[in-house]
Amino acid sequence: QAVAASLPDSVRREERPRGQTGVRVKRGQDFLSPRERRAVQVLFAAVGALLLIACANLANLLLARALARQREFAVRCALGAGRGRIMQQVLAESVSLALAGGVLGVGVAWLALRVIVALRPPALDHLADVRLDPAVLLWCLGVSVATGILFGSAPALFAGAQVAGDVLRRETRGGSQGRTSRRVRSALMVLEIAASLVLLVGSGLLVRSFTALQRMPLGFEPHGLVYADVLLGGRPFRDRRVEIRDAIVGRLRSLPGVTGVAIGVMPGKAFVAYGGLEAETDNAGHTTHVPLLGTVFITRDYFQVARIAVVEGRLPDSSIVMPTNGPPLGMSPEVLVNREFARRVWPHGRPIGARVREAGGFPAGRIEPWSTVVGVVDDTRMPEVHGDVAAVQVYSLVPRRLGDVPIIVRTAMSGDASAPMIKHAIASVHPAVFVRPTLSGDTYLRNGLAPTRFAMALITVFAVLAVVLAAVGLYGVIAYGVSQRTREIGVRVALGAEPNTVMRLVVGGGVRLAAAGVVIGVAVAIAVTRVLESMLYAVSPADPLTFGAVVLLITAIALLASYVPARRALRIDPADALRAD
C-alpha cells in the first residue's frame, strides 16, 4: 500500500525526443498521464480489496473469540465490571492487533519495495527512485488504527451487549445472540468471497490481455531490427548533413551480418505533426482536417528493411530529390499513408491519387504545397499502445535538412548482440556525431509489454493472497460452525443420520456462502472491470471465459475449504457430544 501511495506524488512526465515518451521520478511533481493514473488507481483498488478481506477475516476471528469468552465477560460483569469497560477491553485488543499488523506490514512493504525495484523491467526504471516517506508511513498508521476500530467495533458491541445473568443461566449453545453472530460472520465471509472474485477477475482479464498482446499483429518484424537515433544538428554538420548521412548508411551496410539499412524511426514511433494535415477527399476539392497524426520521414527502402507490407499503390518515385532550401520538416511531393489513415479519411473512396498538405504552416499564413498519396501501407502497432485502432501515420521522404536522423538496420544476427557494433560504426564516421543509445526490436517489444506485465504480476499476487485469505476465512467459519453444532450433529448421528447427510449439511453451508459471494462478486466485477478497459487489449471487461473460470475456481476452493470441517464432523462421537453438553 505504501509503495502505491507514494507514486502519485512522485512521478512526472519527462521531456523526450519527439515520438518517444517516458517518465522519471521527481519528488513534489504530479504529471501522470491518464493511462498511468488509471494503473495507479487500479493498484489502489486491488490493495484496498485485499485490506478489506484481511479486515473481514480479523472481524470474524474477533467475533468467534468474543463468543468463546461469553462466560468470562459474564463473570466480569457479575463482579462489577461495566459494559463500557468490557467494550473498551475488546476494542483495545483489536486496535493492538491492527497496530502490530501495521508495523509488520511496513516492514514487509520495505522488503517488497526492494524486491520490486530489483526486479523492475528497464521500461520502468523510474521505480528505482520510489521511496517510503514519512507521509506514507503516517497514512499507514492511520489506516491501521482506523481498521482496528472499525472492524473491532462489532465484537466489542457484541461483548458489551451480553446480559450476565442470561449468559450464566444459558446451558445450550445458540439463541438469538448466537444467530446474530452467525449472520454477521456469514455476511463478512460473503464479502470476502465477493472481493476475492473481483480481484481474480481483474487478474484474469490482465493475463488474457497480456497473452493477446504477445500475439498482436505488429505489422512489422522486430526480430533482427536495430534502431539508432543520430543527431546531425550541430555547427559541424550545417552544410554536410546529407554527406555525413550517406556515409553513415554506407558504413552500416558494410558491416557483417547487416542485410538492410534505411532512414526512419522504429515502427510504432513517429514525429507528431501537431498542426495536422488537410486531405482532399474527392475530385471536387473538398478537404478534411486530420488534427493529430504521426509523420514518418523515410528512405524508399524503409518498408523493405522494417518488413512493412505495401498493400496498395507504389513507393515514391526514386528520382525525387528533396530541395535543400525547403522547410526542415517539409513533406515530399509523393507520400504514403497507413490503412488507418485511409480508413478514416477515405472510408468509401480510393486514397491513391488524393492530395494532402500540412495545415497551420510556419510562419503563420504560409500555405504548404500539396503532396500526392501514391501508396497505402500496413498499420504498425506496439503493445504499449492498447486498443485495436492503429495510429494515423503518413510516410514522407527524408528532408535534406533533417538534423535528427533516425536509422533502422536489419541484421541476420540477434538485434541485442548487433546494437553495440552498430553504435560504434556510426560514431566512427565523424568524431562529432552523437548517437543516442541503440535499441533492438526485441528490446523495443519487451519494453512495450513491460508495463502490462508488471501490473499483471502485481494484481495477480494480490488476487492469490485474496484467495488464500478467503479460503482460510471460509474454513474458519465452517470449522467454528461445526464446533458450535457439535451437540446437534451428535444427536443427528445418534438418531441414524447417514454420513452423506452430515457431509451435505456441513458442505452445503459453505457452498451457500460461496454462492452468495459469487453472485455479489460477479455483479460488482461487471461494474468495476470497466475501469480496466483502457488497460485491456482484445479482451472485453465482461469476458465470459474469465468470469466462468473464476467462478469455477472460487466454487472449487469453497468446496475444499468446507470438506475438511465436514470430515471432522463425521468423526464426532454421539456419546461424547451428548456427555460434553
Strand partners, 11: 25
Measured CA to CA in angstroms, residue 387 lies from 23, 322, 534 at distances of 21, 36, 8
Phi/psi class of residue 74: alpha, beta or left (left: φ > 0; alpha: ψ in -120 to 50)? alpha
Q: Are 11 and 25 in contact (CB under 8 A)?
A: yes
For residue 411, what pLDDT band results from cuts at 50, 70 and 90? very high
What is the pLDDT at residue 12? 34
Band the pLDDT of 359: cuts 50, 70, 90: confident
Place of cell 488497460: 535
Cα–Cα distance for residue pair 53/147, rounded to 1 Å: 12
pLDDT of residue 1: 39
Please give the Cα distance from 415 to 427 (Å, whole number): 18
pLDDT at residue number 518: 94
Position 24 scores a pLDDT of: 34
- Local confidence band at 34 (pLDDT 50, 70, 90 cut-offs): low
The residues with which 374 forms a beta bridge, in sequence order, are none
Which tens digits make up the pLDDT trace of 216-248? Answer: 888 999 999 999 998 876 666 767 878 888 899
More confident call, 239 vs 190: 190
Q: What is the pLDDT of residue 516?
A: 94
What mean pLDDT value characterizes the chain? 79
* Residue in 171, 189, 187, 153 with CA at minimum distance from that of residue 70: 171
Query: pLDDT at position 7, please?
Result: 38
**Would you say 537 and 215 are in contact if contact means Cβ atoms under 8 Å apart?**
no
Tens-digit pLDDT profile for residues 132-172:
878 878 887 888 788 778 777 766 666 555 555 555 555 44
Confidence class of residue 578 from pLDDT cuts 50, 70 and 90? low
pLDDT for res 338:
93
Band of residue 368 on the pLDDT scale cut at 50, 70, 90: confident
Output Rg (C-alpha) for the chain, integer angstroms.
Answer: 33
Using one digit for the tens of pLDDT, what is the confidence trace for 294-309? 888 899 999 999 999 9
137-141, 406-410, 426-430: which is most confident: 406-410
| Of 497, 515, 518, the residue nearest 566 (C-alpha) | 497
The residues facing 313 across adjacent strands are: 375
Residue 377 pLDDT: 96
Percent of residues, the chain, with pLDDT higher than 70: 80
- The distance from CA 485 to its chain's CA centroid, rounded to whole angstroms, is 45
Measured CA distances, 456 to 67, 394, 524 (Å): 41, 34, 20
For cell 471487461, the residue is 541
> Quick one: average pLDDT of 388-399?
77
pLDDT band for position 376 (cuts 50, 70, 90): very high
If DSSP codes are grouped into helix, strand and coil, which group holds residue 571?
A: coil
Write the DSSP assignment of 39-102 as a string of letters: HHHHHHHHHHHHHHHHHHHHHHHHHHHHHHTHHHHHHHHHTT--HHHHHHHHHHHHHHHHHHHH
The string of DSSP codes covering 11-28 is: EEE---STT---EEE-TT
Mean pLDDT of 26-47: 64
- Give residue 325's pLDDT band: very low, low, confident or very high (50, 70, 90): low
Average pLDDT rounded to a whole number, residues 380-406: 73
Q: What is the pLDDT of residues 101-124, one digit of tens each?
A: 888 888 888 888 888 888 777 666
Spatial separation of the C-alpha atoms in residues 337 and 489, rounded to whole Å: 76
